[in-house]
Structure 1
Amino acid sequence: MKLLRSILAASAACLAFAAPAAHAEDLSFGIISTDSSAVLKQRWQPFIDDLNRQTGLHVQAFFATDYAGIIEAMRFNKVQIGYFGNASAMEAVDRSSGEVFAKVLYANGDAGYKSVLITNVNSRFKTLDDVFRNTKDVTLGYGDPNSTSGTLIPGYYLFAQHNVPVNQTTFKTVLPSSHEANLLAVVNNKVDIATNNTIELGTLEKKNPELFKQVRVLWTSPLIPSDPLVYRKDLPEATRQKLRDFFYHYAKTDPREKQIMAGITGYAGFTPSTDAQLNPIRQIALFQQKQKIAANSNLSADDRKNQIAAIDAKIDALNASSKQ
């Protein structure tokens, strides 16, 4: 009996030690709010289950109502891994100790996706000229402030090119929301026009062809690099290696894994990437800052000149690094 009690005690001690070790690395995986949390959870949970099973890590999904929620959560170490758009990844790298380590691959072979401006097929807007003829009579469904395809890209390539700032003065109403909400608002005639992207349109066409027929595309942007994955730079190297090994090899051959990736948003897996993929987005953001400074009448001529020169230097540095 003494021997039995000793064995049981030793076993209990081993279990007590082993239990915390099994979950020694509790991580949160932040996923930007392109859709509702319920939809995102349904799409991503099977992938996260595989992540835990194959790496031995204990990863839980983290959702927020906006992109800033994921950026701030990573900043305060509440989130250690994140699925971002390029603009929000830029914020995570600059403000939240983040580092790009991977980007998604698309099942159709595309190297990225595109921003679009959409309207209802039965709306009065047939062309961009119809939109910009009198924007004060137009209700715009816009993206999250940190959205690449919903805000940054159309803000630069579309609205800035037409000298139309996106605000409540130039438009009748501006309603920032998620891609999913903006798409449904167009389908249901709740807004006149809305920004979105080709990924969401492709998903709608596949899942609900009849609703897709209610959408007219008025404008399409240049190609946007595919969405990046970011982890905190202060994660242990062993943990980062586990994550890299998992993401780089996931869904390469296994049919079940391929099905899971296709169910997220038509993805085919992941490939290595670095912070350098954000350079084109940085250039656009800097150019927009430059425009704001040039138009700021509260600045003196010298201040305006010095601030613009500082931004030009950053743009030149990005151009140089992109050529290396």
Structure 2
Amino acid sequence: MKAARYVLAGAALASCILTQTVHAETLSFGIISTDSSSALKQRWQPLIDDLNKQTGLDVKAYFATDYAGIIEAMRFNKVQIGFFGNASAIEAVDRSNGEVFAKVKYKNGEAGYYPLLITNSDSKWKSLDQVLKNTKEVNLGFGDPNSTSGTLVPSYYLFAKNGINAKTAFKSVLPSSHEANMLAVINDKVDVATNNTDMLDIIRTQKPQLYPKVRVLWKSPLIPSDPLVYRRDLPQATKDKLRNFFDHYAEKDLHEQQIVNAISGYSGFADLSDAQLVPIRQMALFQKKQQVQNDAHLDDADKRSQIAALDQKIAALDNAQTATQTQAAAK
């Protein structure tokens, strides 16, 4: 009887160890909600299938209704690897124990993409200047609060630099995904909307009949391409598998090249670090500084104090960026 109990206990222990081993190799891949979950799954699942085959990992796609859902899922370890925009990657690094390890590359050779302000081609809004002078007549489709191209970049380059607070200046502001904003413009549900060249390329290639219905009113400076982030506490062996897969995926294989191109005109992936996020952090701090300067509810002393603190952070980022560039030049 004792022997039988030992055998059963040993079997239970072995089962527990096996379960833990399998669990350690099972990952959730969070993908930000630039589009509907079904569309994102269609584009990304073939790559995830290849990831599983080539690494032996068990990776499953994870979708949420907004960017914050993926950030929070990584924070609570429900997601271990994610595809983010630069602004949401900052949140993942700062709040969710994330680490940037790769970025997408574009088939056209660009180092990034461009945020846009778009309208319907038949709209009465013919120019950016016309929109900015008549904001109280304009319904704005805005991006997710954690979106780089949908919110952060246009808030800074398009609105703040023109002395406009987007949240209060427009007739209405309707935050949504890139896909929803694109369709809202095409279907005349909003007057103008923020978006980006990635989504415009998707419309051009996958729904070419809709492409002529979009007019671009504004194009931002180039924004670094979107990063991939994994949790810092992943086993090193798992990190190595992920880095190796993405570093070499679609280098030569035609089928793999077709898969990444179908996601959003990508050609593959490149190795990366958290240094990619420095320019986006600087932009966010400059935007915050402008908000403090224009805040009528703060007295002069509070403004000086907050601006001094922000200037210190900006200077620290400048120094970090200079050091990184110096190290890169020395190699």
Partners of 2:296 and 2:283 lie apart in 1 by 22
Shift of 1:23: 5.2
Partners of 1:166 and 1:68 lie apart in 2 by 21
Partners of 2:289 and 2:51 lie apart in 1 by 42
What corresponds to 2:68 in structure 1? 68
What corresponds to 1:106 in structure 2? 106
> What letter is aligned with 2:107?
A
Partners of 2:70 and 2:219 lie apart in 1 by 27
Partners of 2:236 and 2:217 lie apart in 1 by 46
What corresponds to 1:272 in structure 2? 271
Q: For structure 2, which runs of at least 5 residues remain unmatched after alignment?
A: 1-7, 324-331
Say which structure is richer in helix. 2
Partners of 2:194 and 2:16 lie apart in 1 by 52
> What letter is aligned with 1:88?
S
Partners of 1:125 and 1:134 lie apart in 2 by 10
What corresponds to 1:40 in structure 2? 40
Asked if residue 238 in structure 1 is aligned to residue 237 in structure 2, the reply is: yes
Shift of 1:172: 1.1
Q: For structure 1, which runs of at least 5 residues remain unmatched after alignment?
A: 1-8
CA contact (8 A) 2:25 2:58 kept: yes
Other structure's SS at 2:242 match: helix
Shift of 1:297: 3.2
What corresponds to 2:212 in structure 1? 213
Shift of 1:209: 2.2
CA contact (8 A) 1:23 1:57 kept: no
> What letter is aligned with 1:54?
Q
Other structure's SS at 2:113 match: strand
Shift of 1:303: 2.3
> What letter is aligned with 1:137?
E
What corresponds to 2:54 in structure 1? 54
Over 3 Å counting, the alpha-carbon distance change for 1:50 and 1:23 in structure 2 is farther
CA contact (8 A) 2:160 2:290 kept: no
CA contact (8 A) 2:128 2:218 kept: yes
Shift of 1:293: 1.6
What corresponds to 1:317 in structure 2? 316
| Percent of aligned positions that are identical | 64
> What letter is aligned with 1:282?
R
Shift of 1:133: 1.9
Q: Deviation digits for residues 197-223 of structure 1, max 9, x if unmatched?
A: 011111111122221001110000000
Q: Deviation digits for residues 129-164 of structure 1, max 9, x if unmatched?
A: 210221111010110000000000001000112211
CA contact (8 A) 1:22 1:56 kept: no
Partners of 1:22 and 1:98 lie apart in 2 by 22
Partners of 1:236 and 1:314 lie apart in 2 by 32
Shift of 1:18: 9.3
Partners of 2:316 and 2:226 lie apart in 1 by 23
Other structure's SS at 1:82 match: strand
- State the aligned residue count: 313
Partners of 1:68 and 1:244 lie apart in 2 by 25
Q: Deviation digits for residues 2-22 of structure 1, max 9, x if unmatched?
A: xxxxxxx9xx99x96896445
Taking structure 1 as the reference length, what is the TM-score of the superposition?
0.93
What corresponds to 2:123 in structure 1? 123
Shift of 1:298: 3.2
Partners of 2:298 and 2:182 lie apart in 1 by 40
